[in-house]
Structure 1
Amino acid sequence: MNPVPVRERAPLFVQLHQDDHAGVRAELASGLQADIAFTHPKYLYDVLGSRLFEAITELPEYYPTRTEASIFASHAPAMAALIPQGMTLVDLGAGNCEKAARLFDVLRPARYVAVDISVTFLQDALQCLQRQHPLMDMVGVGMDFSAGLTLPPAAGDGQRLLFYPGSSIGNFTPAEALVFLRQAREAAPGGGLLIGVDLVKPVSVLEPAYDDALGVTAAFNRNMLLHINRLLGSDFDVSQWQHRALYNAGEARIEMHLDAVQDVTVRWPGAQRDFKQGESIHTENSCKYTPAQFEHLLREAGFSRIAQWRDPQDWFAVFLARG
């Protein structure tokens, strides 16, 4: 008797995020015209920027990716013991889905929901993943969750475990992080949040991770100017700007800036900005926490059952927050 073949499922794709070109131009222009010019870090990630960031994660100076991976490798069974099997795993900022996929065998989710700003980027990865796990429901959701974490009906209404690895929570200020964590708790009633958090550590470790010897992070930061040129119609010349990363101890955060190497005028339709030599554009923050500080933030957000795992050097932590 021939075995009944397994019916392969196909991922469902839902695009909630719609390009708002006028809104993007207004946001960029407002940031560039602020007293201290700034941009949102999401503009670092065009196609080339995303590839450069993947290269950054391979650099010897960039500890977060490999340190977080070592925590999951050592402690995933302990995490799984606290997480009910058969829940929906919601991967926030899924990218190529690799981090979540490594946990499938131990967490055994019934459904996987990959969330990123565009499902176009997710489609190939999710279709490949579906072939490897033909019995699992898979959904790709295109949404900008930094603007609000309201998941669509396609994400299912069962128990959810939100997965937010990579210390991306550090791109929010602590006040913004608290808002996000409260939204995460509301989006996962009866479930939880599994989140990677970069910890406070010596400046001698922190600053090289954001200013590597090969200059890959510098290229990543300066590439954003080319992305802004396309979005805003501006005339940034990358040769007139240099990358700078520093640890702001008072705010417990790494800051990335682009400094004008000479007096320069940047123009875009309807406006311009004069930058003096040395004047900067603030492009990214990466906030660092002590374990106690982040646990306090989780409790402020309404989580009551909190577990954490750290690497032997106490450079990075993974928190599981529930209830």
Structure 2
Amino acid sequence: MSEPTVEVHLSPEQLHLSLREDARIGLAATPKWLPPKWFYDARGSELFEEITRLPEYFPTRTERELLRASATHVAEATSAQILVELGSGSSDKTRLLLAALTAHGTLERYVPQDVSEAALVSATRQLADEFPELTVHGIVSDFTDTLHNLPRGGRRMIAFLGGTLGNLVPEEREEFLASIAEVLDEGEQLLLGVGLVTDPAVLVPAYDDAAGVTARFNLNLLSVLNEQLGADFDVSKFRHVALWDAAHEWIEMRLEATTAMTVRLPVLGTKVRFAEGEQMRTEISAKFRPEGICKELERAGFGSDRVWTDPQERFALVLADRVG
């Protein structure tokens, strides 16, 4: 068994500077916003793992069952030698793909990517123990700025699971999918996991659960700003909001100020004013229709899409080939 390796392209200092820049721009905007990648400090990651086990939160377990049912078909269709996963996290669901591809006899290398070096080091060690026949090579980076670091030298498949594509607005998705197409050779594949448009009565509670775990997850973002940027947000004076935007077909998560206040951010040398009832967007989670995501992939340079959905059509796995 070869020892797992982790290649760092995003230092803690760079991560801190990126947070500062996002806070500087997003908190000065109208309306205010912050990108969801800052949810995932140690506490936020723990809360998200708790969310995935909630009865209301169907995406994770639905995607896992889809992978369980389709992983062998994916392995046969791709014969991938290198599996690259963007935003890998704990690589929990990905183990189903790894098992299918190693059983198929083609997979040689797994390349998980994540922003957290500590999480990636832990995950790569576990995976190297579980799959001793594989070379495991982690990359610490931001998935939107890492594609040029991807390995070559074998038939590759990029996996982007968990519905994370939906966190990007349409213009960002277009640019991101095109950039993936640029680094893949003809015949290599992209495997996407995307949430589908479904009944808002089912969808909204997945982002606003009865136990309040998602609320704590959302509010933790303010604690991240307090800890990392020396801000003085009073977390108790904000509330979690989740709503369905039917026009854009996405869920929005927001934080709403329950009273007027001024927040100091000494690291940025600025103050931010919130009116009572003012909302700050912290995440969008776009949902797709199968024909719509296939068209987006086609515009980016992909074709021959194979789509697997659950019986209730709430989630989809899409396998797309890079075309010339």
TM-score normalized by structure 2?
0.93
**Secondary structure of the equivalent of 1:150?**
helix
CA distance in 2, matches of 1:82, 1:23: 39
* 1:286 equivalent in structure 2: 285
1:53-106: CA deviation from partner (whole Å, max 9, x where unpaired): 000000000010011111112222222221114x10001111112222222221
Residue 62 of structure 2 is aligned to residue 67 of structure 1? yes
1:28 aligns with one of 4, 9, 23 = 23
CA distance in 2, matches of 1:322, 1:212: 37
* 2:113 equivalent in structure 1: 115
**Secondary structure of the equivalent of 2:77?**
coil
**Secondary structure of the equivalent of 2:302?**
coil
* 2:164 equivalent in structure 1: 168
TM-score normalized by structure 1?
0.94
C-alpha deviation, 1:188, in angstroms = 2.4
Q: Give yes or no for contact 1:185–1:303 (8 Å, CA) kept in 2.
A: yes
Amino acid at match of 1:46: D
CA distance in 2, matches of 1:97, 1:202: 29
* 1:135 equivalent in structure 2: 133
Give runs of aligned pairs for residues 122-201 of structure 1, distance below 5 A. Answer: 122-152=120-150, 155-189=151-185, 190-201=187-198
* 1:255 equivalent in structure 2: 252
CA distance in 1, matches of 2:18, 2:64: 37
Give runs of aligned pairs for residues 45-84 of structure 1, distance below 5 A. Answer: 45-84=40-79
**Secondary structure of the equivalent of 1:102?**
helix
1:245-290: CA deviation from partner (whole Å, max 9, x where unpaired): 0000011110000000111111112211221110011100000111
C-alpha deviation, 1:148, in angstroms = 4.8
CA distance in 1, matches of 2:169, 2:50: 26
* 1:94 equivalent in structure 2: 88
Q: Give yes or no for contact 1:149–1:180 (8 Å, CA) kept in 2.
A: no
Give runs of aligned pairs for residues 30-45 of structure 1, distance below 5 A. Answer: 30-45=25-40
1:141-194: CA deviation from partner (whole Å, max 9, x where unpaired): 101122352225xx3432110011110000001221111111122222131111
CA distance in 2, matches of 1:300, 1:311: 26
CA distance in 2, matches of 1:244, 1:27: 21
Query: Which segment is superposed worse, 305-314 or 18-27?
Result: 18-27
* 2:224 equivalent in structure 1: 227
Q: Give yes or no for contact 2:19–2:38 (8 Å, CA) kept in 1.
A: no
CA distance in 1, matches of 2:138, 2:181: 21
C-alpha deviation, 1:23, in angstroms = 4.1
Q: Structure 1's 117 and 317: CA in aligned 2 closer, same or farther, altered over 3 A?
A: same
The count of residues paired between Structure 1 and Structure 2 equals: 313
Instruction: Calculate percent identity across the aligned residue pairs.
Output: 40
CA distance in 2, matches of 1:35, 1:303: 36
C-alpha deviation, 1:132, in angstroms = 2.1
Q: Give yes or no for contact 1:151–1:187 (8 Å, CA) kept in 2.
A: no
Structure 1: gaps of 5 or more residues: 1-7
Residue 104 of structure 2 is aligned to residue 106 of structure 1? no
> Considering only aligned residues, what root-mean-square deviation do their CA atoms show, in Å?
1.3
Q: Give yes or no for contact 2:75–2:97 (8 Å, CA) kept in 1.
A: no
1:11 aligns with one of 4, 10, 21 = 4
Q: Give yes or no for contact 1:260–1:279 (8 Å, CA) kept in 2.
A: yes
C-alpha deviation, 1:302, in angstroms = 0.5
Q: Give yes or no for contact 1:148–1:183 (8 Å, CA) kept in 2.
A: no
